[in-house]
Structure formats: structure tokens, C-alpha cells
Amino acid sequence: MAKTTTSPHDACFMSFFSREEFVRDFIPEEIKKHLDLTVIEIDMEGYLSEEFKEFYSDVVVKLS
């Protein structure tokens, strides 16, 4: 199940980081040269406990 949010800030963050091209552009060049960016898996599930969801957002990006 995908994470839902009511905070405009979190909604914007989640919208940006749900797009592979944004994730690729967000990573600094000096780090990119060490990564294989051909396969990106974006997990929007959300793993924060209830007590932190009001203050934090999470997106997990897996690179193969």
C-alpha cells in the first residue's frame, strides 16, 4: 500500500521522489560515478512509526 500524506510539503516531496529522473538528477555527480543508475526501484511504502509520520517523510530508493 502506498503512503498517503496530508502535508503539502510531504506531498511535494513524495511527488518529486516518485520519479526516477528526479532521483537521478538529485544525486551529486561525484556519487553518481560510483553507481549503476540504469535500474532504480522506488519504494513509497513508508516505514516510519506513527509517532514520526507527522514530522518526517521517507522514500526508499534501491539501486541495482
Paired with 60 in beta bridges are 43
Which helix (H) or strand (E) element contains residue 40?
strand 40-43
Q: What is the largest CA-CA distance in the chain?
A: 37
Percent of the chain topping pLDDT 70: 91
User: For residue 3, what pLDDT band results from cuts at 50, 70 and 90?
Assistant: low
Overall average pLDDT of the 12-27 stretch: 91
